[in-house]
Structure 1
Amino acid sequence: MYSRVMSTSTADRLIESTRELLWERGYVGTSPKAIQRHAGAGQGSMYHHFTGKPDLALAAIRRTAGELWATAEGVLNSPGTPYERIAAYLLRERDVLRGCPVGRLTMDPDVIASDELRAPVDEMLDRLRERLAGIVEEGQEQGQFAPSLDAEEIAATIVATVQGGYVLARASGSPAAFDTGVRGLLALLAPLR
């Protein structure tokens, strides 16, 4: 029992360390030695739990995508009108200058080149677009959004605004660019009167 608890703890430390390093350095910049050092785990522990760096990176990417999805779902399922829920998603607190831990992976050539590593990123973004499209459709049914809007296009625009906002904020060194993009999109989506 004791060794099982310790081994779960080591695996979690390895996954959390990999998540952090992937966000900071990307896949290429995250070496197994750096992961082990960050996690306070030895090489034997790493290879006891994972077959190698790709296996560990996949576990880390899946966990990150899962947590981001849970956060988005929590906001999008909150009470309020469809517009208010979309606004809450767009305005939720983020570490804008650090970027999106999932979105940044799309700029990593090694992640994009691997169907396996890219899959959880793509799946999470697809689920988010589908959920947002459903909320837009709900708003159309309630007369809040114009019936002529294409819900899937609006959902893609929302995701693109968030991801592009991260890029603009990081490039300028200021969250103002992110905030400006969000305010502009919310003005365009303002409910019909």
Structure 2
Amino acid sequence: MATTQERLIETTRELLWERGYVGTSPKAILQRAGVGQGSMYHHFTGKQDLALAAIRRTGDEMRTTVDRVLGGGGPAYERIAAYLHRERDVLRGCPVGRLTMDPDVITSDALRAPVDETIAYVESRIADVVQEGVDSGELAAHLVPRDIASTIVATVQGGYVLARASGDTTAFDTGVRGLLALLSPAASAPPSPATDH
């Protein structure tokens, strides 16, 4: 059985993902977690303190996933493709990216910090892999790893938004395919010399 503190954190994570910070009331947290008000205030000073713990947990989970997908061996392109194709609930959106659209999170230095740190970490890990690909000659020499990492994160986050807006994952999948086509080693290879017929 999960401890009361764990239930509160996990419930808050789910509600933040579903409803955002404003829509996640203490009452909703307590009802879904099945705990009393006293239990919440025994472990946390209030809603913001609990939300901060939940956001940090979500960020840690995302970092672990990114490390697992990108940290394995193999060609850089294949690891980037694995990151873009990894299993995700596209129509629910990104549990971290969702928070960037929440005004109460963005205007709070405390709540925004773990969101910013997580996004920066993901970009940094992707940039490292792109740099490996450039250094090995697998990816085009002109690619700027930080720029490509930002493009990958923007494609994923934008894909979530478009998919949620349409209620269909097609926009996300199309964006991923297009980005991978642009990064493909074949796309960056010099053209074959013309042959006379």
Q: How many residues align?
A: 187
CA distance in 2, matches of 1:131, 1:179: 22
Q: 2:160 aligns with which of 160, 163, 166?
A: 166
Provide, for residues 101-156 of structure 1, a one-character-per-residue CA deviation record: whole Å limited to 9, x for no partner.
00000000000000110111100110111111111110011101111111100000
Please name the residue that 2:33 is paired with. 39
CA distance in 2, matches of 1:92, 1:128: 14
CA distance in 2, matches of 1:78, 1:183: 22
Aligned to 1:126: 120
Is structure 2 residue 182 aligned with structure 1 residue 188?
yes
Post-superposition shift, 1:68? Answer: 1.0
Partner of 2:134: 140
Q: Which has more radius of gyration?
A: 2
Q: TM-score, normalised by structure 2?
A: 0.93
Q: Which amino acid is the alignment partner of residue 31 of structure 2?
A: R
Residue 79 of structure 1 and its aligned partner are, at CA, apart by 2.6
Pick one of 155, 175, 185 that aligns with 2:169. Answer: 175
SS at 1:58 equivalent: helix
The corresponding residue for 1:89 is 83
* Counterpart check, 1:12 vs 2:6: yes
Q: Percent identity?
A: 71
Q: Which residues of structure 2 form unaligned runs of 5+?
A: 190-197
Alignment of 1:48-127 (within 5 A): 48-127=42-121
* Helix, strand or coil at the partner of 1:94: coil
Shift of 1:87: 0.2
Q: Which runs of 5+ in 1 are unaligned?
A: 1-5
Q: What TM-score, normalized by structure 1, do the two folds share?
A: 0.95
User: What displacement does 1:187 show?
Assistant: 0.1
| Alignment RMSD (CA, Å) | 1.0
* Mapped partners of 2:179, 2:72: distance in 1: 20
